[in-house]
């Protein structure tokens, strides 16, 4: 018996060892395949015409809503919509799918990466839109959302829906529903003007005879901050309200009273703002709390310090100083400590603009007799041009999604505003009809 047990035990041990050793040896890892990108830079989106589920025909035609959505989606450089001819599935949404669908292969075969389906319904003058966004490769729903707006405003509101869809696809919300503030001379004086991100719907935001400069946005887009030069007064900071929660007029008139206030910039969180003022002649930077109770001087130098731009986390401020003999970009902590020079190339660098992701600072640099737009990383290690042209390109400002920059340029004689992708591609002129257009400030996402 004992002998038998011993043999059985050995047999068991050997068999197990062989069973373990065999597969383990067979599982030699395959070598790694490194995949590099091809030329595909845009998601291919099949955008269905939304089905009308209302009791009667909606006053907003589904095709009109679809075109508004298409324009909003394609505002983002990495989105293209497919033509109906490419659809292997239905052009119109018959019904919204739940958490599952079985026709993903059809959409894949049609060349789509993403499918957008939706239905609309109009009741009492309000349109309810429900959408579903599908990754047809994995056949999973990325977004299910509903929106309710007055019928008259829905086509414009469609941009926000499109921006949400872009966010679901790419991880970064689109910016088609944002606006751009700038200084325009189209009415003779220098006023703050506004336009939509695609260059449409241009209108003035200020009136009066004073000269306006340096428009900036209040957090959340609730108002515009700008500098006004009123005859007989020091330059001051003013607010044009876009919300009832914001008071229009002079901003914190008691702060730095009697001193010029050349320019202001709210931190991204809205708790404080950086102000350019001057004591004893040279411009210096101050940090002021939103209620005006705390004022802290950030720079102490006989040189000029101007053009503050906050990092997206509100921890640092980029600015321009000529303490080294020529205007250069510097960075400091938001409490004024740890000042360090960022740019060492070029004899005149100014107008820094910190990117929304914090990774880059755009600025203008003088090349010969004109300016180009360059980017530099906040450590100062890497810099390169985004826009180069024999004429001057100035005052860059980032779109809130960080995909684009807007700047003013004299490349066609008078100053116009141009938009360019962060890659330096797709340069587009946005202002066309009269006057000089300068100091663009791309607004935040609407609340």
Partner 1 sequence: MSTASLRIDEWVEERSERERRDIRRRLIASAIGHALFVLLLFGLPSPSPLPLPAVVSVDLLAGLPQPARAPAPTARPAARPPAPKPPPRPAVVPPPRQKTKVLPREAPTARARPAPKPPPLDYDDALSSLRDELGEAEPVAEQVLDAEPTAARTSGSGRVDPELVAWQVAVNRALARSWVTPTEYRDSELRTLLLVTVMSNGSVLGEPRVERSSGDLHFDDNAVRAVLQASPLPPPPSSGDWPFLFNPTD
User: Does residue 382 touch partner 1 according to CB under 8 A?
Assistant: yes
3 binds partner 1 (CB under 8 A): yes
Strands (E), 139-222: 140-150, 179-184, 191-196, 203-204, 211-217
SS3 315: coil
**Residue 326 within binding range of partner 1, rule CB under 8 A:** no
Q: How near is the Cβ of 34 to partner 1 at its closest, in Å?
A: 4
Both structure tokens of 383 = 């810099």
The piece of 61-69, 120-128, 305-313, 417-425 that touches partner 1 (CB under 8 A) is 417-425
Q: Measured from the CB of residue 45, what is the shortest distance to partner 1 in angstroms?
A: 11
Largest CA distance in the chain: 116
**How many positions of this chain bind partner 1 (CB under 8 A)?**
60
Stretch that binds partner 1, among 21-29, 175-183, 207-215, 258-266 (CB under 8 A): 21-29
Least Cα distance to 154 among 134, 177, 184 occurs for 177
Confirm or reject binding of residue 369 to partner 1 (CB under 8 A).
no
The interface with partner 1 within residues 60-89 (CB under 8 A) comprises 77-78
- Residue 38 binds to partner 1 (criterion: CB under 8 A): yes
CB 329 within 8 A of CB 352: yes
| Least Cβ distance, residue 4 to partner 1 (angstroms) | 5
Name the minimum Å distance from CB 331 to partner 1: 17
Q: Where are the beta strands (DSSP E) in 280-382?
A: 282-289, 295-297, 305-310, 316-321, 328-333, 340-341, 349-354, 361-367, 370-376
* From 177, 239, 367, 430, residue interacting with partner 1 (rule: CB under 8 A): 367
Q: What is the DSSP letter of 112?
A: -
Give the DSSP H/E element, type plus range, for residue 226: strand 223-229
When asked if residue 385 is in the footprint of partner 1 (CB under 8 A), the reply is yes
Q: Of the listed pieces 124-132, 183-191, 268-276, 419-427, which binds partner 1 according to CB under 8 A?
A: 419-427
105 near partner 1, judged by CB under 8 A: no
Cα 26 to Cα 18: distance, rounded to the nearest angstrom: 12
**135 contacts partner 1 (rule: CB under 8 A):** yes
Q: Which of 156, 402, 414, 427 binds partner 1 (CB under 8 A)?
A: 402
Pick from 86, 93, 100: nearest CA to 121: 93
Identity of the residue, 8 or 209, whose beta carbon is nearer to partner 1 in the bound complex: 8
Task: Choose the stretch contacting partner 1; rule: CB under 8 A; options: 63-71, 157-165, 328-336, 416-424.
Answer: 416-424
Please check whether residue 97 is in contact with residue 117, taking contact to mean a CB–CB distance below 8 angstroms: yes
Contacts of 194 (CB under 8 A, 6+ apart): 179, 180, 181, 201, 202, 203, 204, 205, 224
Query: Residue 86 has what DSSP assignment?
Result: G
| Minimal distance, residue 73 CB to partner 1, in Å | 14
Sites of contact with partner 1 (CB under 8 A) = 1, 3-4, 7-8, 10-11, 14-15, 18, 21-22, 25-26, 28-44, 77-78, 108, 113, 135, 137-138, 169-171, 345-346, 365, 367-368, 372, 377, 381-385, 388, 402-403, 421-423, 425
């Amino acid at each position: 018996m004992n002998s038998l047990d011993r043999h059985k035990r050995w047999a068991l041990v050997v068999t197990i060892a062989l069973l373990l050793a065999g597969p383990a040896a067979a599982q030699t890892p395959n070598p790694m395949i490194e995949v590099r990108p091809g030329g595909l830079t845009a998601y291919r989106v099949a955008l269905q015409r939304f089905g009308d589920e209302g009791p009667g025909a909606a006053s907003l035609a589904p095709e009109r809503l679809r075109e508004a959505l298409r324009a909003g989606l394609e505002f983002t450089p990495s989105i293209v919509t497919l033509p109906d001819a490419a659809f292997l599935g239905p052009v119109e949404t018959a019904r919204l799918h739940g958490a599952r669908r079985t026709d993903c292969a059809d959409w894949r075969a049609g060349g789509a990466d993403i499918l957008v389906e939706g239905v609309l319904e109009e009741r009492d003058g309000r349109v309810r839109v429900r959408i579903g966004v599908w990754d047809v490769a994995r056949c999973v729903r990325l977004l299910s959302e509903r929106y309710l707006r007055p019928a008259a405003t829905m086509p414009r509101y469609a941009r926000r829906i499109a921006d949400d869809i872009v966010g679901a696809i790419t991880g970064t919300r689109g910016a088609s529903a944002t606006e751009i503030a700038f200084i325009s001379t189209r009415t003779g004086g220098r006023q703050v003007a506004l336009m939509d991100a695609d260059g449409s719907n241009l209108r003035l935001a200020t009136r009066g005879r004073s000269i306006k400069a340096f428009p900036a946005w209040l957090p959340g887009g609730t108002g515009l901050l700008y500098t006004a030069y009123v005859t007989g007064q020091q330059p001051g900071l003013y607010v044009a309200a876009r919300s009832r929660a914001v008071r229009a007029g002079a901003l914190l008139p008691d702060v730095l009273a009697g001193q010029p206030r050349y320019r202001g910039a709210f931190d991204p969180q809205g708790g404080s703002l950086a102000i350019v003022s001057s004591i004893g002649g040279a411009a210096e930077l101050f940090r002021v709390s939103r209620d005006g109770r705390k004022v802290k001087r950030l720079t102490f130098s006989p040189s000029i310090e101007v053009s503050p731009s906050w990092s997206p986390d509100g921890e640092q401020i980029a600015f321009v100083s000529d303490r080294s003999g020529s205007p250069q970009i510097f960075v400091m902590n938001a409490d004024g400590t740890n000042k360090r020079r960022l740019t060492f190339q070029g004899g005149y660098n100014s107008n820094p603009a910190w990117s929304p992701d914090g990774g880059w600072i755009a600025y203008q640099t003088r090349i010969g007799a004109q300016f180009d737009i360059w980017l530099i990383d906040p450590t100062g290690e890497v810099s390169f041009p985004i826009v180069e042209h024999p004429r001057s390109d100035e005052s860059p400002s980032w779109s809130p999604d960080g995909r684009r920059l807007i700047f003013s340029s004299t490349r066609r004689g008078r100053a116009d505003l141009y938009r360019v992708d962060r890659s330096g591609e797709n340069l587009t002129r946005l202002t066309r009809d009269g006057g000089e257009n300068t100091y663009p400030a791309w607004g935040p996402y609407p609340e």
